[in-house]
Amino acid sequence: MWQDVPENKGTLHTWDGAKKYCEELDESGFDDWWLPSEKELVTIVDTTRSQGRMIQKGFIYFKPRYYWTATTYSWNAPHAWAISFKNGLSISVKKEKQLHARCVRCSDFKLCIERFYDK
């Protein structure tokens, strides 16, 4: 279940701030949200759509900008991966930079961890 609220297009966070925002989120009666991994966030990128709106249909609140993932850049720990809903690209960004965040939750937590996180 993906968060889709006005904050998804207006609020900017550092990487630590984005993680904290998602972990403290109480939305739609759920309080088990987290910042998605790169593997998770890329599942809602739709490269068949026109540039500037490369997010799956159904999402209302987004900006065609970069969004944080929880995935640290393995070759440079002060960086994390971010994904653009403008062009679908993934880039590494300094964790102090201010980007957007979109939180996610999963009804089957174990399955989500197995599917989207390296062991």
**Full set of structural domains in the chain with CATH:** 7-114 (3.10.100)
pLDDT digits (tens, 9 = 90+) for 9-23: 889 999 999 999 999
Query: Confidence class of residue 8 from pLDDT cuts 50, 70 and 90?
Result: confident
Task: Look at the pTM and tell me if it is higher than 0.85.
Answer: yes
pLDDT(41) > 70 = yes
- State the Cα torsion 29-100-44-52 to the nearest 10°: 140
Q: Which of 52, 17, 65 is nearest to 25 (CA)?
A: 17
| Residue 64 exposed, middle or buried by CB count within 10 Å (0-12, 13-18, 19+) | middle
pLDDT of amino acid 66: 96
pLDDT(119) > 60 = no
Looking at every residue in the chain, the average pLDDT score rounds to 89
Assign 118 to helix, strand or coil: coil
Q: In 10 A of CB 9, how many CB atoms?
A: 17
